[in-house]
Chain A
Amino acid sequence: MQANFRKNYYGYLFIAPFIIGFLIFGLYPVYDTVYLSFTDTTIMSPNSAQWVGLKNFERLFADDFFMRAVRNTWLIWLLNFIPQIGVALLVSVWFTSTRLKIKGVGVWRTLFYMPNLLMPASVAALFFALFSFYGPINQFMVKSGFLPEAMHYLQNTTVTRGLVVFIQWWMWFGQTVIIVMAGMTAISTSLYEAAMVDGASAWQMFSRITMPLLKPILIYIFVTSLVGGMQMFDIPYMLTDGRGSPAYSIMTNNILMYSKFSSSKGHIGAASSVGVLVFIMTTVIALGIFYFLRDRDSQ
């Protein structure tokens, strides 16, 4: 017993590399970002930085630019998340249905998931090529009579935003299907059998049994997707000119941050202030949802 107790202190040695790594590569950068956000540091003159207090933050709210990025990011995320979770629930119910007995569930699922593994940079470049003015989609649309003449898809704010939403949905719904299905198969079939005996309809079973028991999984999906969505960069960056064109319709938080980083003088102080605000916003919402909903659940 005594020996075991002493052995427990070995745990610290096992977790020590993680803690050291985290302090160096995780915590310090966060501290540095916060620090930079109160200075006017630029890449061009890294050593003449001045403490400017809240000026960077005041400038973010001085015009609509920053809020536009925040709104865009939320909009793009919500518009892809809702159909993503909707389609995933629907498909998962079918796949796990003992009545429908869908064949080849594993194969379907495997194929649906594949886009998730593709390099986002390549996916965006692919869609850029497909939707360019002299590109294949225009040829198809005009030759088959859907459009009277070729259009500049990536100059149209609605189409461009829609494409980003679509690509995000396309890349992520397969993963959501897998997670939701795993949650559904974990629900004991005896619950459904009992409900069937009581004459419950499919919808009743779904809303009274599946959904409540799936709640932790859904929260997990929601929160991880939100955190990822708030940091969206690759697809909107590579799809147009890297600054969220047309008309900043796909300028996300991270694109704004990067554009300040890559501006002519390289305003990394201002870029940090974007990072800090989005970090706070995302963290408060993500952890808030996580703990609020979890606590109620366990009561």
Chain B
Amino acid sequence: MLNPLNNYTLKTNFQRFFVYLFLVVILVISIIPIWLLLVNATRSTPEIQQGLAFFPSTHLMDNYRILRSKGLNLWLGFGNSTFISLATTVLTVYFSMLTAYGIAVYDFPGKKPFYNFIVVLVLLPLQLSIIGFYHYMSKLGLTDNYASLILPAIASAAGVFFAKQYLDSMIIKDLIDAGRIDGASEIGIFHKIMLPIAAPGAFTLGIFSFVASWNNFFNAFILITSLDKYTLPMMVKTLRGDVYRTEYGAIYLGLAITIIPIVIFYALFSRYIISGIAMGSVKE
């Protein structure tokens, strides 16, 4: 007679085996394109043409030389993207926190509808108004200008939504009242008391807005015209085009350069990122 408990653990182990197998398969699928990219970035073009390989070769520097020799300055795009992403991040974090704090702390008339409005905004496909945005920016003379990419961050509905979720769990009315008794101004309380306490949330929000801005192709592609202002994703398009044609090693290396910073970034901050995703959605 089989012991029912044994049967149970046997079944569990059996199931567990398939679960792990499935997870490994998905993991391989998740990682393999990235791994191939990194490996090919170190292989010479003839090596790449000879077939797949899963281990790095020794041509990293050759590829880098070829990459640099064709007139495409990826580092310029790197700098441009970094500047835009940092500026966007600062504006998003600060103004989202400011707005969310206003909603969370003050009971002004119209607050409920205003917050509901922001929630609706999160769900609107506002990118579809890019043509109007472009037309309007060109009238203002702001096309081919980073201002048109950066300043909209002041009104980030998703940022406010996230910040509100975060602040709701953070705000301690007593601290605010204590600040008021000490004679601090309202904005002073926000700056000196709330922002430091909310720093982890601000940091998480910052990571998301940085990554979103870093990867943003569509808006920059429509708004930016001159090559010295190209962002990194726009340069990837050049990399894909005629200029590099047969230089596969260099192309892979160029692509690797665009993603490695994010991978490193992720390795350092994955905890914040993952908890941030959960926080942005789980409520209700």
Q: Do A and B come from one complex?
A: yes
Contact (Cβ within 8 A) A21 B281: no
Interface 9-residue window, one of A134-142, A152-160, A243-251: A134-142
Closest to B91 in A: A21
Contact (Cβ within 8 A) B236 A238: yes
Contact (Cβ within 8 A) A41 B135: yes
Residues from 74 to 132 in A contacting B, C-beta threshold 8 Å = 87, 90-91, 94, 99-100, 102, 106, 108-115, 117-123, 125-130
Majority secondary structure, A binding face: helix
- Pick from A21, A170, A257: contact of B95, CB below 8 A: A21
Chain A: minimal CB distance from B37 (Å): 5
Contact (Cβ within 8 A) B123 A30: no
Contact (Cβ within 8 A) B27 A111: yes
B2 within 8 A of A: no
B132 within 8 A of A: yes
Contact (Cβ within 8 A) A91 B23: yes
- Interface size class on chain B is 35 or more
In the complex, A20→B132 CA distance in Å? 18
Residues from 30 to 88 in A contacting B, C-beta threshold 8 Å = 30-36, 41, 46, 87
B126 within 8 A of A: yes
Residues of A within 8 A of B134 (CB): 261, 268
Chain B: minimal CB distance from A120 (Å): 6
In the complex, A233→B138 CA distance in Å? 22
Interface string of B131-164 (1 = CB under 8 A from A): 1111110100000000000011011010010000
Residues of A within 8 A of B160 (CB): 18
Contact (Cβ within 8 A) A100 B131: no
- Pick from B126, B138, B186, B263: contact of A7, CB below 8 A: B186
In the complex, A286→B121 CA distance in Å? 11
Contact (Cβ within 8 A) B34 A115: yes
Residues of A within 8 A of B218 (CB): 233-234, 254, 258
In the complex, A158→B251 CA distance in Å? 26
A-B residue pair count with CB separations less than 8 angstroms: 293
Chain A: minimal CB distance from B70 (Å): 15
Residues of B within 8 A of A100 (CB): 12, 15-16, 19
B101 within 8 A of A: yes
Closest to A35 in B: B132
A203 within 8 A of B: no
A150 within 8 A of B: no
Chain A: minimal CB distance from B271 (Å): 8
A259 within 8 A of B: no
A216 within 8 A of B: yes
A10 within 8 A of B: yes
- Pick from A7, A18, A22: contact of B106, CB below 8 A: A7
In the complex, A186→B278 CA distance in Å? 11
A179 within 8 A of B: yes
B174 within 8 A of A: no
Among A258, A275, A278: residue with most chain B CB under 10 A = A275
Contact (Cβ within 8 A) B237 A36: no
Residues of A within 8 A of B259 (CB): 118-119, 122
A151 within 8 A of B: no
Contact (Cβ within 8 A) A14 B255: no
Contact (Cβ within 8 A) B98 A17: yes
Residues of B within 8 A of A31 (CB): 132
Chain A: minimal CB distance from B190 (Å): 8
Chain B: minimal CB distance from A6 (Å): 11
Interface 9-residue window, one of B48-56, B59-67, B196-204: B48-56
Residues of A within 8 A of B15 (CB): 100
Residues from 170 to 209 in B contacting A, C-beta threshold 8 Å = 180, 186, 190
Closest to B123 in A: A286
B211 within 8 A of A: yes
Contact (Cβ within 8 A) A178 B278: yes
Contact (Cβ within 8 A) B262 A118: yes
Closest to A143 in B: B51
Contact (Cβ within 8 A) B154 A18: yes
Contact (Cβ within 8 A) A125 B274: no
Contact (Cβ within 8 A) B236 A121: yes
A162 within 8 A of B: no
- Pick from A33, A128, A182, A278: contact of B132, CB below 8 A: A33
Contact (Cβ within 8 A) B19 A102: yes
Contact (Cβ within 8 A) B95 A122: no
Question: Can you spell out 17 A-B residue pairs with CB atoms less than 8 angstroms apart?
Answer: A7-B106, A21-B154, A30-B132, A102-B20, A109-B274, A110-B266, A121-B233, A126-B252, A136-B36, A139-B52, A140-B51, A175-B277, A178-B274, A216-B284, A279-B124, A287-B123, A290-B123
Chain B residues close to A by CB (< 8 Å)? 12, 15-16, 19-20, 22-23, 26-27, 29-31, 33-34, 36-37, 40, 48-52, 95, 98-99, 101-103, 105-108, 111, 114, 120-136, 138, 151-152, 154-155, 157, 160, 180, 186, 190, 211, 214-215, 217-218, 222, 232-234, 236-237, 239-240, 248, 251-252, 255, 258-259, 262-263, 265-266, 270, 273-274, 277-279, 281-282, 284
The 5 closest A-B pairs by CB, nearest first: A14-B102, A11-B106, A33-B132, A21-B155, A32-B132
Chain A residues close to B by CB (< 8 Å)? 7-15, 17-22, 24-26, 28-36, 41, 46, 87, 90-91, 94, 99-100, 102, 106, 108-115, 117-123, 125-130, 134, 136, 139-140, 143, 170, 174-175, 178-179, 181-183, 186, 216-217, 220-221, 223-224, 227, 230-231, 233-234, 238, 253-254, 257-258, 261, 268, 271-272, 275-276, 278-279, 282-283, 286-287, 290
